[in-house]
Chains A and B, each alone.
Chain A
Amino acid sequence: MTRVLIYLSLATLFLVLQITLFPSLLAGHFKPELLLILVVYLSLHESFAIGSGFAYGLGLLQDVFAGSDLGLYGLAFLATFMAGRSLAARVNTESTLLLLLMVAAGSVLQGVVLVFALGILTDSGIAWLVVLRQLPQQLLINLVAATAVLTLTLRLQRRFAPRVNLPGLQHLGPRRER
C-alpha cells in the first residue's frame, strides 16, 4: 500500500513538473519524460499484475495532459513495461546502469509505438514524423533526466532514510565510507 502511494505521489509530481516547470525552464518543446522513467523502474522491480496496471494507468494520466488521443500513451507505456518485464528475469536488475540502458531502450520503444499508432492507427497528420524527428533528442534528454533523478533519489535516501533499501539504486552516486 505504501509503495502504491509512493508511486502515485511520484507520478503526480513528475506530471506537474512536465506540464508546468519544464516548459518554462527548458528552451524549445523538449521536456524529459519522467513518467517513462517510472514505468521502466516498475518493469524491473514490480510484479506483472501491479506493474502493468500502474504502467497503463500512468499512460492514461499522461494522455490526459498530452496529445489529443486518450489511450495512446497507455498503449506505449504498457508495451514498454511488458518489454522491460520480459527482460527483467534475464538481467541483473540491481544494476543502475541497466536502469539507464532500459530508459534509453524504453524511449526508443515508446517512440516506435507512438509512430506506429499515430501513423497507422489514427489520422493525426504528420504527428508520427514529428515524433520520429525528435526521437534522438528525446532519448538524450530522457537519459540525462534519468541520471539526475536517480542521483537525487539516492542522495535523498542516504540522507533521510539510510536504512531503507531502494531496489536498483545502489550503484549510482558517491559510495558510502565504510
Chain B
Amino acid sequence: MLELFRKYRTTLLVGCLILVALLVYSANLRQRASTTLFERTLLQLLAPVQRLADSTWSGIGEIWGRYIWLVDTAEKNVRLERENRRLQAEFDGVREVRLSNDRLQTLLGFRLTLGQAALPAQVIGEDASSWARTVIINKGADDGVAEGLPVVVPEGVVGRVIRVSSRQSRVLLVTDASSALAVLVQRNRTRGVCRGRGDDLTFDFALRQEDIAVGDQIVTSGTGGVFPKGLAVGVVTQLTREEFGLFQSIVVSPSVDFSRLEEVLVLLPEQP
C-alpha cells in the first residue's frame, strides 16, 4: 500500500490539490455575494502597495507624456491659442450681429405697429457737456429729418430733433432739463406735463386730489403736437403730497435706458 502510494505520489498530490481547489471553489460559490475574510485581508494588505505602484506608474506616464513624448507641445499650444483667439473674436462678432439683429427686428416690429412713416437712425455721439442731455444721430435733412420731429424706440419716447444738418441731427432727450412733453397717467387718464431733470423726469400739474400711485405708467397724451398719443414715457417712482399746495410732486423714471441707446426711429410727418 505504501509502495503504491510512493509510486503514484505526485499524481495523488495533484489530484488532492485539485480536489481541495474544487472544494474551495465550490464552497465560495455559495457565498458569492459576500467578501470572504481571506479576500478582505489580502485586499487590505495589498492596498498600499497597489496605491504606490499606481502613483509610480502614473508619475512615470505623466513625465513621459508631458516632457518626453510631447516635443511639439509648445508650438501646438501657441497654434491652439491663436486659433482660440480667432474663434473667440469670430464668436464675439457673430454675437454682436445677432444682438444687433434682435434690436433691429424689435425696431422693425415697432415701426410696423406705429402706422406712421419712421426713419431708422443710429446714435453716433453724445452731448459735449455734462449737464445737457442730447444725442447725435446719423440721419439729417438729406434723409427727410427736420427740427421738431419726434424720436422714439420700442421702449418709449426718446426726445425730439432740435438741430439738423444735411447728414446728422441732434436730438434733445426727454430727460434734458429744458424738455417738456404733454403726458397722461395710463390708468386714470390724468393729464400733466413731464419735464426733464437730468436723469429722470417730473410730472407737473397733477392736482393733489388726483389718484396717482407709484408704479403708474405715464404715456404721451398726443396733445403737445410733437409725439403721437400713447407712447410710453416712464413709470411713477416717487410721489409726495404736501399738506398745502395745489399739486403733487411726482418723479417719473424714464422707460428708455438712455445710456444704452443705439438705434432709434425718427417719426416722419405724414404726407398729404
Contact = CB atoms under 8 A, between A and B. Distances in A.
Contact of A126 (B125, B127, B130, B197): B197
A110 to B, nearest CB: 10
Contacts of B176: 68, 127
Interface residues of B, number: 26
Interface stretch (A17-25, A47-55, A169-177): A17-25
B119 interface: no
Nearest to B162: A68
B256 interface: no
A29 interface: yes
A23 B126 contact: yes
B131 interface: yes
Nearest to B165: A64
B209 interface: no
Contacts of A130: 131, 177, 197-198
A29 B128 contact: no
Interface residues of A, number: 33
26 contacts: A15-B128, A18-B128, A19-B128, A20-B124, A20-B125, A23-B126, A31-B128, A33-B130, A64-B163, A65-B125, A65-B128, A65-B170, A67-B131, A68-B162, A114-B131, A122-B178, A124-B177, A125-B177, A125-B178, A125-B179, A126-B177, A127-B131, A128-B177, A129-B177, A130-B197, A137-B130
Given A35-B128, A130-B197, A134-B130, 7 more contacts: A31-B128, A62-B128, A64-B163, A122-B178, A126-B177, A130-B131, A133-B198
